[in-house]
Amino acid sequence: GPDGSPLVGRRRLPAGAWTMADRGDVAGNPLAAPTVADPHNVYAIAVDAEGYVHVAGNMHADPLRYVRSVRPGSIDEWTAATMVGAEESSVTYPAFIRAPDGALLFFYRDGRSGGGDTILNRRAPGSGTWERVATLIDGRSSGENAYIQRVAVDMGRSTIHLSYVWRADEDPASNRDVSYARSEDGGRTWLASDGSALTLPMTHDTADIVLATDPGSLQLVNQGGLAVDGDGYPHAVFRTSSSAGAEGVLHVWQEGQAWRHEPLLTDRSIGGRPAVAATDGAAYLVWTERDDAQRSTLWLTKLGAGPSNDEVALARLPVAGWEPTFDSVALAERKELHLLLPATVGTDGGGTGAVATWDPALLGGALGGVIRRRTPVCSGRGARPLPSPAAHRGWQGRKPPRGLQPPRRRSSCDRRPTGGDSRRRTRVTARSRRSWS
């Protein structure tokens, strides 16, 4: 909330009202609220196979901060929780995913930039306990920290995909060597892109480097997007820059046994790290372009078509830059792209948010879907609709999807009593931005 308390929201699909709960009031304050004003201190949230809600966050080389709902499907009562207990004293970059076998996985870095390990924990359905799977990537012995992208899961092929870069110090310019690994057994063993086994923990010397780069040559920004298309091929995207100040996006993807890369959007003003969403054999870049010092446009660009990529503007946003966050489970199960967007602007991130849903027709053919609904997370104006069908590129006269329609000027969020001041205005449940270091 505006005071830095971590909020958790819940709604009934497809377009129910949001219920908000303050998790800064859990006994003992296990999430160490208020949230530290540091972009590293993000939150991760997931629902396991039994319906329990898990939240971890507000950590930058801090001891593990983690809570779990007391009852499945409920956000009313929470308890401080533990995982394994070892290598959990210096945690950053928490990430939950649901594995193909239904287990809940937890990825994180233990250590600091230039000297941290990437570790994986696992909670099996019905077990009630966490186990250590492995230290996946060794970033301490070589002094080169691995920064992983968004973890991608191919449910149909029971495969987990990782992409990452290496960094020798806290300078983002030292990011280099795009690397890859996949697991077909829930994260216990990992393979290179050619199917050969990788020894754990992976190191820079043993990693499957799919694009070798010199430090600073592309100014790769760590922790971009990763997704798997309908043919099972991974697509990674990175924000890039040059010493001359030019910006762009680098698309790195597997095609058959070969890896390819393509620079994109080098003539555009990129408003943050991009995401990538994929389904039905195609991949789509989700990114923002700065319009001016106060506004940006959210774009969806079809990847793999060269310079004439189809793209469509989804919304105008009331901020100069935004790093997209979406629900990967909804995309995989229902082919719906649920995006968390800013709806109003506040000081120190204190604005309100909204969730937009792209119709299931979105990712078929030539981006043929429409925005069908927009649910405000809490009070405030929404992103402005696009003024006309002309606000697109590469559509050859076809009418693009409608822009996001703003919600009513005021809309209520049913915030459950949590012992604090229930009159406080609520906002987005978690920060969407990840830090560069």
Strand 91-98: give its sheet, edge to edge: 91-98, 104-112, 115-123, 130-137
Name the average pLDDT for the chain. Answer: 79
Residue 215 Cα distances to 144, 175, 235, angstroms: 12, 6, 22
Which amino acid is it at 298?
Answer: L
Average pLDDT score over residue span 325-340 = 85
CB 202 within 8 A of CB 138: yes
Closest to 404 in 3D by CA, of 353, 347, 330: 353
The pairing of strands 19-22 and 7-10 is antiparallel
For residue 359, the model assigns a pLDDT of 52
Closest to 86 in 3D by CA, of 116, 121, 52: 121
For the chain, the residue count is 437
pLDDT class for 245, splitting at 50, 70, 90?
low
CB 145 within 8 A of CB 203: no
Task: Using only the alpha carbons of the chain, give its radius of gyration.
Answer: 21
Query: Could you tell me the two tokens for 287?
Result: 């990114």
Is the pTM of the predicted complex or chain greater than 0.85? no
For residue 189, the model assigns a pLDDT of 98
For residue 309, the model assigns a pLDDT of 57
Is 3.30.110 the CATH number for 7-23+132-415?
no
Average pLDDT score over residue span 49-74 = 96
Higher-pLDDT residue of 127 and 382 is: 127
pLDDT class for 357, splitting at 50, 70, 90?
low
For residue 345, the model assigns a pLDDT of 63
Q: Can you tell me which residue has the tokens 């973890």? A: 151
Distance CA 206, CA 144 (A): 13
pLDDT class for 319, splitting at 50, 70, 90?
confident
225: left (phi over 0), alpha (psi -120 to 50) or beta: beta
- The CB density around residue 190, as the number of other CB atoms within 10 Å, is 24
Backbone angles phi, psi at 436, to 5 degrees: -85, -20
For residue 209, the model assigns a pLDDT of 98
Q: Which residues partner with 117 through β-bridges?
A: 110
Is 343 a residue whose pLDDT tops 60? yes
Is 67 a residue whose pLDDT tops 90? yes
CA atoms within 13 A on the CB side of 38: 15
Distance CA 21, CA 141 (A): 42
Q: 247-269 pLDDT, tens per residue?
A: 899 999 999 999 999 999 888 89
Is 25 a residue whose pLDDT tops 60? yes
Residue 136 Cα distances to 118, 119, 314, angstroms: 6, 5, 37
3-state SS of the chain is CCCCCCEEEECCCCCCCCEEEEHHHCCCCCCCCCCCCCCCCCEEEEECCCCCEEEEECCCCECCCEEEECCCCCCCCEEECCCCCCCCCCEEEEEEEECCCCCEEEEEEEEECCEEEEEEEEECCCCCCEEEEEEEECCCCCCCEEEECCCEEEHHHCEEEEEEEEECCCCHHHCEEEEEEEECCCCCCEECCCCCEECCCECCCCCEEEECCCCCCCCCCCCCEEEECCCCCEEEEEEEECCCCCEEEEEEEEECCEEEEEEECCCCCECCCCEEEEECCEEEEEEEEECCCCCEEEEEEECCCHHHCCEEEEEEECCCCCCCEECHHHHHHHCCEEEEEECCCCHHHCCCEEEEEECCCCCCCCCCCCEEEEEECCCCCCCECCCCCCCEECCCCCCCCCCCCCCCCCCCCEECCCCCCCCCCCCCCCCCCCCCC
Is 315 a residue whose pLDDT tops 80? yes
pLDDT class for 312, splitting at 50, 70, 90?
confident
Q: Is the dihedral of CA 372, 349, 94, 173 positive or negative?
A: positive
Which amino acid is it at 322?
Answer: W
Query: Could you tell me the two tokens for 363?
Result: 């990712």
Is 96 a residue whose pLDDT tops 70? yes
Residue 7 Cα distances to 35, 318, 428, angstroms: 10, 22, 7
CB 23 within 8 A of CB 5: yes
For residue 1, the model assigns a pLDDT of 67
The pairing of strands 414-415 and 19-22 is parallel
Distance CA 41, CA 257 (A): 38
For residue 330, the model assigns a pLDDT of 85
Mean pLDDT lowest among 145-149, 159-163, 242-246, 327-331: 242-246
Closest to 168 in 3D by CA, of 145, 185, 198: 145
Average pLDDT score over residue span 300-306 = 76
Q: Which residues contact 174 (CB under 8 A, 6 or more apart)?
A: 167, 168, 215, 216
Is 360 a residue whose pLDDT tops 80? no
Q: Is the dihedral of CA 288, 292, 295, 297 positive or negative?
A: negative
Query: Which stretch, 129-138, 367-376, 414-423, has highest mean pLDDT?
Result: 129-138
